Amino acid sequence: SQTIHQWPATLVQPVGSPLSLECTVEGTSNPNLYWYRQAAGRGLQLLFYSVGIGQISSEVPQNLSASRPQDRQFILSSKKLLLSDSGFYLCAWSITDYEQYFGPGTRLTVT
């Protein structure tokens, strides 16, 4: 069966510090991978998606970036965090147009 991992689960970082969140998927090959941010009461905001290694599409211009160095690994990064980057970050994977599976999430607080 497929499993998706995210780490860390919780992170507190000062403004201006770098960020690296990691997501890995097990049990499937060549999945589509996604990064979302969820703010309270505002639903899921798609940040990046990837259909293959090295292929990244950005949905929202911001100071975040994403990379996919391996088929089942997706990384979200920032060189300098802003207060507005606080939120709940979710990684997800899919191999069909009608199912998407989410990871446990990372709660990021920028202070």
Partner 1 sequence: QKEVEQDPGPLSVPEGAIVSLNCTYSNSAFQYFMWYRQYSRKGPELLMYTYSSGNKEDGRFTAQVDKSSKYISLFIRDSQPSDSATYLCGVGNYGQNFVFGPGTRLSVLP
**Site for partner 1, rule CB under 8 A:** 6, 34, 41-44, 46, 49, 59, 88, 90, 97-105, 107
| Residue placing its CB nearer to partner 1 in the complex, 43 or 54 | 43
CA distances 51 to 7, 18, 26, 31, Å, are: 21, 26, 16, 7
CB of 81 to partner 1, least distance (A): 21
Residues in the chain: 111
CB of 65 to partner 1, least distance (A): 18
| Residue placing its CB nearer to partner 1 in the complex, 46 or 53 | 46
Q: What is the separation of C-alpha 21 from the centre of its chain, rounded to a whole number of angstroms?
A: 7
Q: How far apart are CA 77 and CA 59, in angstroms?
A: 15
Using CA atoms of 33, 63, 21, 40 in order, give the dihedral in degrees to the nearest 10.
Answer: -80
Q: How far apart are CA 93 and CA 23, in angstroms?
A: 10
| Residue placing its CB nearer to partner 1 in the complex, 44 or 53 | 44
| Residue placing its CB nearer to partner 1 in the complex, 32 or 67 | 32
CB of 34 to partner 1, least distance (A): 8
CB of 33 to partner 1, least distance (A): 12
